[in-house]
Amino acid sequence: MSPYRGVILDIDGTLVDSNDAHTRAWVRAFADQGFDLEFGQVRPLMGMGGDQLIPRLTGIRKGDARYEALSDGWKQHFQDEELPHLQAQPGVRPLLEALQARGLKLIVGTSADEALVQGLLKIAGADDLLTAYTTASDVEASKPEPDIVQAAVTKLGLHPHEVLMVGDTPFDVQSAQKAGVDSVALRCGGDHRFEGAAAVYDSPKDWLDHLDSSPLGAASAASRGR
């Protein structure tokens, strides 16, 4: 019987096709502050929060006025220029409904800013299904540090070994590993660096199509047998 009783879900790249959009917003924000960074330099870091990404690319850290300017600039560019054009990844709502039907507790665990979460969940068609979440705004450090995953596990009221993390970047997998949580990785975010993931699928729909043979399969069978 599967030990999993809860699932933590990333949003960007996992539920919504937004990683390229975030990259473009960051490139524009950096340019606004005089940093000439190309798309290809920023894109591999999607999945990190600004607290990780900004120092990595510029050396600027929290507490510096330029950090706030960069973070605010990214958020503004993303909300104004990118958010209206985003689409859900294939199969998001049917997957979430299937997970809930198996008695699993669901929570969002994202490096996104809390101000963006509701808009992204609406695009995913999941704002009524995913009402609990932890974001970068709730913790000291975003992914790949374990803080967001640990906070989500605590909110679920479960032990780490009872929870599965679902994401689309290596930073989701690394964050989960540091928190003692198993992970499922989805390629739909455009990444493939998933060393350490328990399973890898193309998209939410692909995972749903293979749910009974996935790490949650035993839980599915147990649920149906009750």
Residue 112 has a pLDDT of 84
In sequence order, which residues have a C-beta less than 8 Å from that of residue 178 and are 6 or more positions away?
144, 145, 146, 149
Which has more pLDDT, 38 or 223? 38
Residue 136 has a pLDDT of 82
The answer to whether the CB of 134 falls within 8 A of the CB of 49 is: no
Helices (H) and strands (E) in the chain, counts: 10, 6
Is the confidence at residue 225, as pLDDT, over 50?
no
Averaged pLDDT of the chain: 94
What domains are defined for the chain?
A: 6-18+87-225 (3.40.50.1000), 19-85 (1.10.150)
Residue 3 has a pLDDT of 86
Q: Give the model confidence (pLDDT) of 82-119 as tens digits.
A: 999 999 999 999 999 999 999 999 999 998 888 899 99
Residue 224 has a pLDDT of 41
Can you tell me the mean pLDDT for 154-169?
A: 98
Residue 218 has a pLDDT of 56
Q: Give the model confidence (pLDDT) of 169-205 as tens digits.
A: 999 999 999 999 999 999 999 999 999 999 999 999 9
Residue 1 has a pLDDT of 60
Residue 226 has a pLDDT of 37
Q: How many CA atoms lie within 13 A of 60 on its CB side?
A: 17
pLDDT band at 8 (very low <50, low <70, confident <90, very high): very high
Q: How many CA atoms lie within 13 A of 190 on its CB side?
A: 16
Task: Find residue 183's DSSP bridge partners.
Answer: 165
Residue 220 has a pLDDT of 44
Other CB atoms within a 10 A radius of the CB of residue 72 amount to 13
Is the confidence at residue 223, as pLDDT, over 50?
no
Residue 217 has a pLDDT of 83
